[in-house]
Structure 1
């Protein structure tokens, strides 16, 4: 069967539906199932290792959303990353697989291979640069040959950042040459908390950071040209006047993903690349001290196998409560929100980017609800719907892409604006 074949029983299968994030994806797909603008209602199913747990997830979603039909009409597919045949059966039944099983460095590759092998498009919410870039290096040509799209980081890491850059560039009148982004995550009285799987990804990503440098050398990329004045990176900790609190460089996948998109657009579309630096607010001086102490512990223990074992066994203790095996409470999720602000500079229309300093600025923002389990599931599901509805607008015939490279010609930003993630211009001069 060809990729996206209409003979497949489902448009979308959520793999890992019984996991912590997968449960939220199930609810979002259920809400959006009737919204698909072309091709009729969205036909979907859930998949995972345990049929009983999958049925429990559907039962909870049915009660929460007042949709009793979910328990009767939505099928459960048993699939396990360690059983290749089960992945093949799953991938043969859907046009798109939403992979919610992480950490992806351990569990992602078998799903990517099964999707390519069986002609199903693949989306995930990975925030691990090593995995994302290795999939591109090793599977891009095969995915192209089979007409399959493999699009990683379709969650909070990194659609707001990647599409935020594209949005900023589209709103800038002239040549945008550099952007700094500042992320602020706000919580309620109970504070913020993330799930253990995200913590594990960070721990093992830090331990394996040397392999990322080796991996990037294998691409053989030439450095992207610097258009306009070169932007200097800020320090490891600094007070940001832009967000009026201390900030540090963002260590997630956003810079990596944005650079991949900028490279694609430069090489395939001859669009001038944008220099990009990402930062995240950490609060006041007390937060800086806590971050410094926690960072030292993380750095030391992350280098040792025993230290990594302790970090992943006791996430709440070593992260000062920022991550836990149980994840955030519903109250924490409901009270949280994010604001990602982009400060761009460049050259106004008619100005020569090779001459003088930038003479124009723009400030845009992407805002939304709690990033990990509300914004992420919204961006993932809308990316899937966009792929299904606008396949003709994606590049070439398939391949491994970042979100910006895959969706730059689509209506995904408009879709997100209609689903509680707002892109807007704050100022332009």
Structure 2
């Protein structure tokens, strides 16, 4: 990681956005302390000084502090102004990029960070953007000695680090994992800000570009160890959890697969097959989601349909997404559980001649996913970049969280902040 002195260890870019304000609060809550006991210098960045000042005032009020202005600087910059992004990046050791959708606003930030020697973490859940940034900037970032770490929020740290955690805990070799995400909500139900909805709309609309990108990459297939993991039906029943499930359409599968490729090719680890699902409860929930999914897939094909989806997120998502985002009451009542079911081989068993004989179940639990767990994950990823530099990949580059942090103390940091990793059961069969 670049060691050139910078005035700010952390810069929260997009701090006045819906998610950025929570990331700002989390950085302040962290009360990060540099070596020698001095306060860690940090700043917030965005288009409007007035709005950024308001974010700092709200954060101070929420945290019970008289002010944050004395310890936090303000940087005015705009994603449409490359020179202003360069100036921001020159002042930062790590940029926390909260400005999405990333396929529209993410690359200028990555470019500015790479060219000006700043590392960067984001909370992107858009596979096309994440994979494109790797192919365009990995070598340049390595030359500069900086780390560009995508998907460092709820998408996709619990899944990516969850598979690595299971691999470390199994008594043998892990070969295949299925994860099931369960969102627990209070009486008012869940709600997600429409920026995530916009990312999904444009992501599905451009999924052909992702297929094209992967074909152009022409990567050598990662070997399959043990039996091939069978994909479940579009709607399937998970007996262990007593719930119906559907495939999880976020970035988790893309991110985990890229991590497993890295671990296999660079650290000679046995690659793990992975599939991700989300539980949806009973049959009534399945029917509701099927209708929402059909509407979404139909409208997303056409320009006017995408405009309607973006203009009326609450209507087309059956109330799950809104332009206002969740209330504090909704966030306080919400949490998540990600349950992992894995299989593999005990020490001494051969995947070539025997069936998997080890079963293991682990969980990752945490607070509300989008605006509590995500800021925690993002800030702890940034702190890991700052404090665990000797355990990062030797050269810089564009990495998944698992590839960058597999040898660091990130899981311990997350555990201390309420995102808990645990083994539920492990047995030989």
Interval of TM-score (by shorter of Structure 1 and Structure 2) = over 0.9
Q: Deviations over 1:122-159 (max 9, x none)?
A: 10000000000000011101111111110000000000
- Deviant stretches of 4+, over 3 Å: 34-40
CA contact (8 A) 1:36 1:385 kept: no
Name the structure 1 match of 2:72. Answer: 74
Name the structure 1 match of 2:137. Answer: 139
Distance (whole Å) between structure 2 residues aligned to residue 164 and residue 47 of structure 1: 32
Distance 1:117 1:343, change over 3 A: same
For residue 75 of structure 1, give the secondary structure of its aligned residue in structure 2: strand
Q: CA deviation at 1:219?
A: 1.7
Distance (whole Å) between structure 2 residues aligned to residue 255 and residue 36 of structure 1: 35
1:205 to 203, 206, 211: 203
Distance (whole Å) between structure 1 residues aligned to residue 11 and residue 3 of structure 2: 12
For residue 289 of structure 1, give the secondary structure of its aligned residue in structure 2: helix
Segments of structure 2 that go 5 or more residues without pairing to the other structure are none
Which deviates the most, 385-394 or 111-120? 385-394
CA contact (8 A) 1:33 1:43 kept: no
Distance (whole Å) between structure 2 residues aligned to residue 336 and residue 422 of structure 1: 15
Distance (whole Å) between structure 2 residues aligned to residue 162 and residue 208 of structure 1: 24
Q: CA deviation at 1:217?
A: 1.4
Q: Deviations over 1:365-413 (max 9, x none)?
A: 0000000000000000000000001112111220000000000110000
For residue 127 of structure 1, give the secondary structure of its aligned residue in structure 2: coil
Q: CA deviation at 1:250?
A: 0.6
Distance (whole Å) between structure 2 residues aligned to residue 39 and residue 90 of structure 1: 26
Distance 1:179 1:38, change over 3 A: farther
For residue 255 of structure 2, give the secondary structure of its aligned residue in structure 1: helix
Q: CA deviation at 1:72?
A: 3.0
Which deviates the most, 405-414 or 63-72? 63-72
2:184 to 155, 161, 186: 186
Name the structure 1 match of 2:218. Answer: 220
Distance 1:170 1:39, change over 3 A: farther
2:339 to 338, 341, 346: 341
CA contact (8 A) 2:121 2:382 kept: yes
Which deviates the most, 236-245 or 45-54? 236-245
Q: CA deviation at 1:318?
A: 0.7
Q: How does 1:4-19 map to 2 (within 5 A)?
A: 4-6=3-5, 8-19=6-17
Q: Deviations over 1:270-297 (max 9, x none)?
A: 1010010100001111111111111111
Name the structure 2 match of 1:154. Answer: 152
CA contact (8 A) 1:28 1:381 kept: yes
Q: CA deviation at 1:4?
A: 4.2
Q: Deviations over 1:152-196 (max 9, x none)?
A: 000000000000000000000111110000000010000000001
Distance (whole Å) between structure 2 residues aligned to residue 414 and residue 38 of structure 1: 22
CA contact (8 A) 1:38 1:389 kept: no
Name the structure 1 match of 2:260. Answer: 262
Aligned-CA RMSD value = 1.1
Name the structure 2 match of 1:352. Answer: 350
Q: CA deviation at 1:66?
A: 1.4
Distance (whole Å) between structure 2 residues aligned to residue 17 and residue 83 of structure 1: 17
Distance (whole Å) between structure 1 residues aligned to residue 3 and residue 21 of structure 2: 24
Normalising to structure 2: TM-score of the pair? 0.98
Q: How does 1:227-306 map to 2 (within 5 A)?
A: 227-306=225-304
Q: How many residues align?
A: 427
Distance (whole Å) between structure 1 residues aligned to residue 226 and residue 317 of structure 2: 40
Segments of structure 1 that go 5 or more residues without pairing to the other structure are none
Distance (whole Å) between structure 2 residues aligned to residue 128 and residue 27 of structure 1: 25
Distance (whole Å) between structure 2 residues aligned to residue 159 and residue 221 of structure 1: 24
CA contact (8 A) 1:37 1:389 kept: no
For residue 68 of structure 2, give the secondary structure of its aligned residue in structure 1: helix
Distance 1:37 1:369, change over 3 A: farther
Distance 1:89 1:39, change over 3 A: farther
Q: CA deviation at 1:39?
A: 7.2
For residue 202 of structure 2, give the secondary structure of its aligned residue in structure 1: helix
For residue 345 of structure 1, give the secondary structure of its aligned residue in structure 2: strand
CA contact (8 A) 1:175 1:353 kept: no
